[in-house]
Amino acid sequence: MRLRLLDLLACPSCRHFPLQLHIFEEAREDVKVPGNPPLCELYCAYKGGEVSKVGETPCDECVKRDIITGLLACTSCGAWYPIIDSIPRMLPPGHPLRSDKQYRKALEKHADKMPEELRSKVLD
């Protein structure tokens, strides 16, 4: 998942924006963006704040980051969404196609990198 995607994602359960990001594995790629890099409109995930408040944004660095494994968390309703193999799994809790058992298995090896409140929610 590209870091820039956080400017577009909201919680499918309650529509809260932005989601909180926890990165467990990431890769950097030498991406060349022709012309101006894509600028985020509302939220700069690289700096972790609203674009209007963070000052100059390092878009050239941001586009090089690819999140392989991580976790998106909603600070409003408490829902969580894993990032597995660079794909954010954005099905809301309780959805019939959501596989929390598979998600937990994929995230177990990163338990030490999770904040305690998320660890107990995700892995228990």
Q: Where are the domains of the chain?
A: 3-123
Query: Across the chain, what does the average pLDDT equal?
Result: 93
Nearest residue to 10 via CA among 73, 65, 53, 70:
73
Q: How far apart are CA 35 and CA 94, in angstroms?
A: 43
pLDDT at 9 over 80: yes
Q: Where are the alpha helices (DSSP H) in 14-57?
A: 51-54
Q: How far apart are CA 114 and CA 104, in angstroms?
A: 12
Structure pTM? 0.91
pLDDT at 64 over 80: yes
Question: Which numeric CATH code is attached to 3-123?
Answer: 2.20.25
